[in-house]
A and B are shown apart, each in its own frame.
Chain A
C-alpha cells in the first residue's frame, strides 16, 4: 500500500530543493549583472582615461568611486539575498500545496490533498468513504509521471547578466591588459603590484650580482636558525617560508619582486609573533637535558647568537636553583665538556662579574668563558645558589648584548638585505626608484648638504627659501639629491635614506645599535620636513602634529599626481602603500 503522505513529502522536498536552486541561480545572475555595474563604477576613472579623455573637474576621485562601488556592491548583495529569500518563501510548497498541485495537474478534484488529511486522521466523514478516497489517491499517485517540475533557468535575466558580465570583462581586459578586477578585492598589495609589473614584462632582465649577493646574505642569515632547537615551531615555519620565498626570488627573476615582498611579509609575521608570544619555546627548553642545554648554548655563543644563548642560560639557571648535588655534578660535567677552559694567564686582570668600559668583543667572549668556568667550579662544589645567580647575570648580559648572530639582528639584517635587493632589482629593471629629496630652508650660512640613498633612481632635493645657505637635498635615490636654495645662508639639514636602518622593525632592544646607523647632521632650523621626520622617528611627541600635517600635505600632492598624471598602474599602489606605511598614528 502506497504511503501517500511519505510520497508527497518526498516530492515536496524535491520541489523545494529545485525552487531553491532556481532562486540561487536567479540571485547569482542578478548579482553578476549588478556586479558588472559596480566594476564599471569602480573603474570609471580608468575607463575615461583609457578612452583618451581626461576626467572633468567635477568627476569624482578614484577613491570616491571605489567607495561608491563597494557600497553599491554591498547593497546589491543585500538586495539580492533578501529578494531571493522572499521569492523562495513564496514559491516553496508544503505537502498540502504539493498535493493540490498534483491534483490540479491531473485534473482531479483534490483526492491527494484529501487523502493526506485522511492519513493524518483530520478528515471528517465515514471510514468507508475515507478508504475510497485513499484508494483514489493511490491511483492518482501511481499515475503521476513527473511530480516535480524541472529546473527552470532564469531565462532572460540569466542571459542578460551573462552577456553583460562577459562584455564587461572582455572590454576591460582588452583595454587594459591588467587584472581589471583585482582591485575589487581591496587595494593592491605590494605583491600584486610587483607581480603585475613582472608579469607584463616579457623581457625581464636577470638578477644582478649585487642583488644576488644581497639575497644570498639574507638567506644565509635565516638559514642559521633552521636547526635552532629553542625556537618555537611556528617561528621556524614562518622563517622557512621566508627562506622559500627568497630562494624563489633567486631562481625566478620574473617573480623576484613578488617573492621578496612575500619574504618580507613573512619576516614581519615573525616580528609580530615575537612581540605577541616570544619566539623561544620554553617547553622545548625544559625538555632538554643539561648536556643538550650546554651544547646548544655553546653553539649559540660560537655563532654569536647571544639571544639564544641567553634563553638557554636562563633555563639552565632555573635548573641550578632546584638541582640536587648529583644533578649539579652532572651539569658541571656537561659544562666541562662544552665550555673549554680558558687560558687565565692571558688576561690575569679580567673580572668575569661584569662588563668593562671599552671592552672589545673578544674580551667579552673571554670574560663570559671565564664566568662559565667559574660556574662549573661552583657546581662541582655544590653551590647551587651561587652558580644560579651567576648564570642569570650572564644570561642577562648576553640578552642585552644581542650579538651579530642573534635572531633579532639577523631578522633586521635580512630585512635590510631584502629591501636593498628589491631596490636593486628595480634598478635592474630600469625603473625609476621612488625617491623624494628634501631640502630645508637654509639658516644663513654654512655648506651645502648632501642627499643620500641607495638605488638607481634619482633623488630630487628641494630647498626652501631660507636665510641664505643652500638647502640640503636628499632622498632614497642613488646619488645625491641636489639641494637647491638661495645662494647664501646656512645649510639646511636635508637628508633621505633609501635603506631601512637595522633595528627599525623593532627587533633589537634599546641600546643595541646597528652597524649601519646613519647619523644625519643636526643643523639648521627645526621646522623642515626632514627635521620633522627625524624628530618623529626619534619618538619626539612634540613633532607629532607637524608630522601629521606634513604627511597629509605630501599625500595629497602624491594622490593628485596619481590621479591626474600618467603614473603607471604598477606604481600607483606602490605610492599609496608608501604613504599608508608612514601614516601617523
Chain B
C-alpha cells in the first residue's frame, strides 16, 4: 500500500528549509567559497535533475558531489570516463556463471550506474557511444540490459564533470545529451581568501569529515514537495518568454540572441526553469514560485541549452553573457508606477 503523502503545512516548509540549510552548511564545511555551486547542486538534487559540472582541473568539481552523497548517506559511485570505456562498463552486463551443480546461466552484474548518485567524471573523454549509455539512465532512471529493463535506485541523479580547456582527445557532449542535464554548474576560480582557507584547512593530518544530515526518505519527501509548490500563470508566462527569447528567429529575441545564437532552448528548458524555480522556492521556505526565483536559476538552466554562433566564438561572447542579456531585456509582468 502506497504511503499517503503528508499535507504541506507551514511547519513542514520551515522544517524543509531548515533541513536543506543544514545540508548546505554541511557540504560547505569541505567546500570553501563555493556557496552558489552548493545551492545549485542542491537545487538539482531536489528537482531530481542531472547536473553537469564544468571547471578547470583542480577547482573541486567532484568534491561537492562526493560530499553531498556522504551528507545524505546515499549510495555513490564514480565512473572515470576514458576513451576506452564501454557502455557495459557503466550499465553492467550479463555474465555466464555456474551454479553449485555446475549448470551455466547468465547473471546480470550491475554496473556503477546502479547507485543514487553517479559521478561521471570527465564525461567528455568517453566516446559518444559510451556517453549515450547514460541517456536512458538520466532520462528514465532505468537501464535496459540484455533486453530487460532495470530500474535504478531512487533517488537517482547523474553528476557529470568536464574540463572546458582540454579539448584534445575529447568528445563534446551532443546537444541531446546536454539538454538532459537540468543544470550546468560552473566552478569559478576561488578568491584570494578562499585559496588561503583551502591551504590552511585541507593540508593537515586530519581531513574534515562529513556528517549525515539527511536520510534518503527525507530527500525523497522533499523531492516530492518540490512538485507541489504553487506556480502562478504569470510566472510560467515569464519562463515561457525567456525560453522563446533564446531563439534567434523569435520576434521577442534580443539583438544579442539574434546575432550570437544558432539554436535556442528546447521546451525541456521551460520545464527545467519551472522545476528549478520550484526547488529554489522550497530552499527559501516558500510555497510558491516568484519571478525572481526564475531569474536566480536562469543561468544554470539556460547556459548549456543555447548553441552559440560562430560570431559569438569569434567575439568571445559566452553563454553567460547571453543569459545576462536575456534577463535584462525580457520584460517581466512588471508593475509600472
* A interface with B by C-beta (< 8 Å): 90-91, 93, 96-98, 100-101, 103-104, 109-111, 113-114, 116-118, 122-126, 128-130, 132-133, 135-136, 149
Contact = CB atoms under 8 A, between A and B. Distances in A.
Contacts of B292: 109-110
Nearest to B232: A117
Interface stretch (B8-16, B69-77, B105-113): B8-16
Centre residue among B8, B13, B289, B335 by max chain A CB count within 10 A: B335
B336 interface: yes
Contact of A129 (B235, B288, B334, B337): B288
B91 to A, nearest CB: 35
Contacts of B289: 110, 114
Contacts of A126: 8, 228, 230
Given A128-B7, A132-B287, A123 B335 contact: no
Contact of B337 (A91, A109, A111): A91
Contact of B229 (A110, A113, A125): A125
A110 B235 contact: yes
Contact of B335 (A97, A118, A128, A133): A97
5 contacts: A122-B233, A123-B230, A125-B288, A126-B228, A128-B8
B235 A114 contact: yes
B287 A136 contact: yes
Contacts of A114: 230, 232, 235, 288-290
Given A125-B231, A126-B8, A111 B335 contact: no
Contacts of B284: 109
A129 B290 contact: no
B122 interface: no
B268 interface: no
Centre residue among B230, B289, B291, B336 by max chain A CB count within 10 A: B230
A98 B335 contact: yes
A100 B331 CA distance: 14
Interface residues of B, number: 29
B228 A129 contact: yes
B313 to A, nearest CB: 37
A185 B228 CA distance: 69
B230 A104 contact: no
Nearest to A111: B288
A129 B336 CA distance: 29
B212 interface: no
Contact of A109 (B228, B286, B335): B286
List the 9 closest pairs (A to B, CB-CB), nearest first.
Answer: A125-B230, A109-B290, A101-B335, A110-B290, A126-B228, A117-B232, A128-B8, A132-B287, A129-B287
Contacts of A91: 336-337
Given A114-B290, A133-B288, A124 B236 contact: yes
Interface string B42-53: 000000000000
Contact of B230 (A93, A124, A149): A124
B336 A97 contact: yes
B8 A132 contact: yes
A96 B228 contact: no
B234 interface: yes
B294 to A, nearest CB: 11
B336 A90 contact: yes
* Interface of A: prevailing SS: helix
A90 B8 CA distance: 40
B293 interface: yes
B291 A110 contact: yes
B233 A132 contact: no
Nearest to B233: A122
Given A90-B336, A97-B336, A101-B337, A130 B286 contact: no
B333 interface: yes
Interface string B246-286: 00000000000000000000000000000000000100101
Contact of A93 (B229, B290, B291, B335): B335
Contacts of B334: 97, 100
B285 to A, nearest CB: 11
A109 B332 CA distance: 13
Interface of B: 7-10, 13, 228-236, 281, 284, 286-293, 333-337
Given A101-B335, A136-B287, A128 B234 contact: no
Contacts of A110: 232, 235, 288-292
Given A110-B288, A114-B290, A124-B230, A100 B335 contact: yes
A125 B8 CA distance: 11
B141 to A, nearest CB: 23
Given A109-B281, A125-B228, A129-B229, 20 more contacts: A90-B336, A91-B336, A109-B288, A111-B288, A113-B232, A114-B232, A117-B232, A118-B232, A122-B232, A123-B230, A125-B231, A126-B228, A128-B228, A129-B8, A130-B230, A130-B287, A132-B10, A132-B288, A135-B10, A136-B288
A93 B334 CA distance: 10
A74 to B, nearest CB: 31
Contacts of B234: 96, 113, 117
A124 B290 CA distance: 13
A91 B335 CA distance: 9
B231 A124 contact: yes
A104 B333 CA distance: 12
A342 B231 CA distance: 109
A133 B333 CA distance: 19
A117 B236 CA distance: 12
Nearest to B6: A128
Contacts of A93: 335-336
B193 to A, nearest CB: 30
A80 B135 CA distance: 63
Nearest to B13: A132
B332 to A, nearest CB: 8
A170 B83 CA distance: 92
A534 to B, nearest CB: 74
B333 A96 contact: yes
Nearest to B281: A109
Nearest to B12: A128
Nearest to A125: B230
Contacts of A97: 333-336
Centre residue among A90, A98, A101, A126 by max chain B CB count within 10 A: A126
Contacts of B288: 109-111, 114, 123, 125, 129, 132-133, 136
A332 B13 CA distance: 110
A9 to B, nearest CB: 15
Centre residue among A98, A129, A135, A136 by max chain B CB count within 10 A: A129
Contacts of A116: 232
Contacts of B13: 132
A444 B293 CA distance: 108
B4 to A, nearest CB: 13
A100 B230 contact: no
A123 B231 contact: yes
Contacts of A122: 232-233
A117 B10 CA distance: 20
A131 to B, nearest CB: 8
Contacts of A123: 230-233, 288
